[in-house]
């Protein structure tokens, strides 16, 4: 799902679409495989930190191992969006290898030491991938990209249309992403429902803001990206939000903030700080990921023992 959806989205560059989707395909496969190794390595380190009597063992390949490797590849593809069209394959390969190493370390620190609640990866995947990509973008020809007379980071009618297919694909399949490592029928049902409620709300919000900020016209950059912000934001708390309006409100707020980021923040960062974020990953993944982290902390503080009974009452 990640490879196909992000692959379509990478096509939006009118002058770099073939390279973008080709690099996306190769690097995603590489990142998935090495992420399995790094996940196993850092998990063993953390287990030894928790229990000095822990004995190292071989990495066991199973469904969860592959899913977690897929998550690491997703973080790399998010980062790729910030430097799209400005890097060679070798540069991207080096960046992906380094990122997966630190992604696995960061994930183990958050999940094992800090015990964060992050089923859909708002913090572990989206926020980390976005800020790692933005950090890399500082060093990938930002001045040349901003001054490019051919409009680096700009699509045309056909490329935007193909990218919209990727957006629709992610829209349909994001609930499976958020519930991939869920446990228990009630929690997974909540995650699916909340993800759909949140992503539909962010889609509505993005369409409203797109028309409001562009004189009644739909801005394709906002529609392509900000419409998915709700799914990013709800990821951390998708299985613990028990009232429908909470997921809908979260999605709408994330959609508005993400849309305003594409409409104003990206241009401001380019002009003020010389930051060129090709796909706007800070707006789609960074800010909604931070929102999702804060919301999950608030919701989790209400008490884990009440989730089951509240789910039965509000959703049946």
Q: Give the residue-averaged pLDDT of 228-235.
A: 95
Rounded percentage of the chain residues whose pLDDT exceeds 70:
84
Q: Give the residue-averaged pLDDT of 42-51.
A: 84
Q: Where are the domains of the chain?
A: 2-314
Q: How confident is the model at residue 313 (pLDDT cuts 50, 70, 90)?
A: very low
Q: Give the residue-averaged pLDDT of 91-106.
A: 95
Domain 2-314 adopts which CATH fold? Ammonium transporter fold (1.10.3430)
Is the model's pLDDT at 7 over the cut of 60?
A: no
Q: Mind listing the pLDDT tens digit for each residue in 20-29?
A: 777 888 888 9
Predicted pLDDT at 311 = 42
Predicted pLDDT at 14 = 57
Q: Mind listing the pLDDT tens digit for each residue in 125-184?
A: 999 999 999 999 888 777 766 666 555 555 566 777 777 888 888 898 899 889 888 777
In this predicted model, which residue has the larger pLDDT, 144 or 246?
246
Q: What does the CA dihedral 75, 87, 32, 296 come to, rounded to 10 degrees?
A: 0
Predicted pLDDT at 156 = 67
Question: Whole-prediction pTM value?
Answer: 0.89
């Amino acid at each position: 799902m990640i490879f196909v959806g992000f692959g379509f989205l990478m096509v939006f560059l009118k002058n770099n679409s073939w390279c973008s989707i080709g690099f996306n395909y190769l690097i995603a496969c590489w990142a998935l495989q090495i992420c399995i190794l790094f996940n196993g390595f850092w998990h063993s380190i953390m287990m030894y930190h928790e229990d000095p009597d822990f004995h190292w063992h071989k990495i066991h390949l199973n469904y969860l191992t592959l899913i977690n490797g897929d998550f690491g590849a997703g973080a790399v593809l998010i980062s790729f969006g910030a430097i799209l069209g400005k890097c060679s394959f070798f540069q991207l390969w080096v960046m992906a290898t380094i990122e997966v190493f630190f992604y696995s370390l960061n994930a183990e620190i958050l999940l094992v030491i800090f015990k964060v609640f992050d089923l859909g990866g708002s913090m572990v995947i989206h926020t980390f991938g976005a800020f790692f990509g933005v950090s890399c973008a500082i060093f990938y020809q930002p001045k040349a990209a901003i001054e490019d007379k051919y409009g680096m980071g700009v699509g045309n009618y056909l490329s935007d249309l193909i990218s919209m297919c990727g957006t629709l694909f992610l829209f349909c399949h994001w609930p499976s992403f958020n519930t991939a490592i869920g446990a228990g029928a009630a929690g997974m049902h909540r995650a699916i429902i909340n993800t759909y409620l949140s992503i539909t709300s962010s889609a509505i919000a993005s369409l409203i803001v797109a028309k409001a900020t562009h004189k009644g016209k739909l801005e394709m950059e906002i529609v392509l990206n900000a419409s998915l912000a709700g799914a990013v934001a709800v990821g951390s708390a998708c299985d613990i939000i028990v009232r429908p309006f909470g997921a809908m409100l979260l999605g709408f707020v994330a959609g508005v903030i993400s849309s305003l980021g594409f409409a104003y923040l990206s241009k401001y960062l380019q002009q003020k700080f010389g930051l060129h974020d090709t796909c706007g990953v800070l707006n789609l993944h960074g800010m909604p990921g931070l929102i999702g982290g804060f919301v999950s902390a608030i919701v989790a503080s209400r008490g884990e023992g009440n989730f089951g009974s509240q789910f039965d009452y509000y959703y049946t």
